[in-house]
Amino acid sequence: MKILIGIISTSKGDKLYVLDDGQEMLINDDGKNQKDIYGNYSFLKKHSFKINDYPVTGPGVFRFRYGPVTSGIREAGVFQLYTYGEKILRATIDLSWKYREMAGTMQMTSPEAGLLMAERVCSNFAMSHSVAFSQSVETALEIKTSLLTKNWRILLLEAERIYNHLYVIYKLAAAAAQKVLAAHLSALFEEALRLNEQLTGSRYLMGINSIGRLNNNPSGPAVQKAVDGYKNLANTFTRLYEHGLANYNFLDRLHTSGTLTPDMAESMGLTGPSLRACGIKDGLNTTTSHLISLPVITQSGGDALARMEIRAGEIVNSCQYLIDHLRTSDSWIDNEETQIRKDKTGGTGYSVVNSPSGALGYYLNVKNGNVQDVNPFTPSYIGMHAVSHALEGAIFTDFPFIFDSFGIHFTDASC
């Protein structure tokens, strides 16, 4: 299965950034039949900050503007919902309010300075951006990272997945007025952030990753404490989640809300939990010789409930994954040492990671030691198109369930 996640403009013409069963590749855009092959080709080519900008008119139809600064949306972004009262006829999403020209700012900086910027594109996905950016630079400069670094990056991406998924489920519970469940999930989210801090010194996993290496490898009592922490977190979450699933008021709000068919999800270029909720595997999980492969969970509903189920399953799996590997991390023998080519000061690199909400990739050039032509491809930009589509025909009260279930962010989408 080929999924188009971005289109890159280069001096030699446009290139399609495609995932083929999880393996990234660049294909020259010959302009022929691409619209037929990739359903998201047109909007990725246009890459507009106004998504689905086709106003609806008619007697009684008006535009309900939700944002840019309003309760319910934590970031500066606008949903222009065309409606005649309850039903959402069209959802135009304006990303421009959060546009900070991050990719532009990364140009002509050193890879290390660019990495700092990449980590700050979207703090919830800081590790994903950091790993994707650094791997792209490493590819460009032909830097070979050590096995230990690869292991820790994979583990920390799972740590990021855990707290993000907890946050999404907390948001869904809060939107359904499940106050007690939401409060407990919020506490677990905080616990996950503290575990991050215990492992890396940063609640949002910033500053630990670097080009070709980690700034410091977690070790010693902190790791063992984290093992206990993830064990508790998994147990508490499992208990809470089972309790939550017993509540029909909660499930009814998610069931059939924002349903996407497998065809829609695939043609939009969705990846991550949103695609897996439609029963399709994206093959994004990566592993090393030290680490066992994570099982991939899928659901068939394609709705907000299916997306939540995927995330819940992944929280437990990721916790178990971390518990199993953190326990043995002290005994890892690094037989692949970091190799840096001093003579290499330029090149092209790209890399994709499995972020909490799907494929997150970078394409960049390095010239004379400075990064250029940085093109980030985020799950949130494609996710916003999916949200816009899923909102059509829904009623207003379904809005938070649909939007939150995709686990995407304006900052990530508009970088």
* Residue ranges that bind other proteins, judged by CB under 8 A: 54-70, 78, 82-87, 89
Minimum distance, C-beta of residue 105 to other proteins, in the bound complex (Å) = 25
Rounded CA-CA distance 106/123 in Å is 16
- Cα 277 from Cα 311, distance rounded (Å): 9
**In the complex, what is the shortest distance from the CB of residue 371 to other proteins, in angstroms, rounded to a whole number?**
35
In the complex, minimum distance from the CB of residue 73 to other proteins, in angstroms, rounded to a whole number: 9
Grouping H, G, I as helix, E, B as strand and the rest as coil, residue 346 is coil
Helix or strand (DSSP H, E) at 325: helix 304-328
Tell me phi and psi for residue 372, to 5 degrees. -140, 165
Q: Which is nearer to other proteins, 82 or 163 (CB)?
A: 82
Nearer to other proteins, 83 or 164 (CB): 83
Distance of closest approach, residue 89 Cβ to other proteins, in angstroms: 5
Closest CB 256 distance from other proteins, rounded Å: 17
- Which one, 90 or 307, has the nearer CB to other proteins? 90
87 Cβ contact list (under 8 Å, min separation 6)? 393, 394, 395
| Beta carbon nearer to other proteins, 90 or 171 | 90
Q: How far is the CB of 374 from other proteins (least distance, A)?
A: 30
Least distance in angstroms from the C-beta of 68 to other proteins: 6
Structure-token match 């969970």, residue found: 297
Integer Cα distance of 277 and 265 in angstroms: 9
Coil, helix or strand at residue 392: coil
Whether the CB-CB separation of 412 and 380 falls below 8 Å is answered with yes
Residues with Cβ within 8 Å of 155's Cβ and at least 6 positions away in sequence, in order, are 291, 321, 322, 325, 326, 329
Q: Which is nearer to other proteins, 69 or 183 (CB)?
A: 69
Q: Which residues contact 328 (CB under 8 A, 6 or more apart)?
A: none
Q: How far is the CB of 338 from other proteins (least distance, A)?
A: 48
Residue among 375 and 388 whose Cβ is closer to other proteins: 388
Nearest-CA neighbor of 40 among 24, 19, 23, 12?
19
Q: How far apart are CA 225 and CA 293, in angstroms?
A: 24
For residue 375, which of 386, 360, 362 has the smallest C-alpha distance?
362
Please say which residue, 84 or 287, places its beta carbon nearer to other proteins.
Answer: 84
By beta-carbon proximity to other proteins, the closer residue of 264 and 296 is: 264
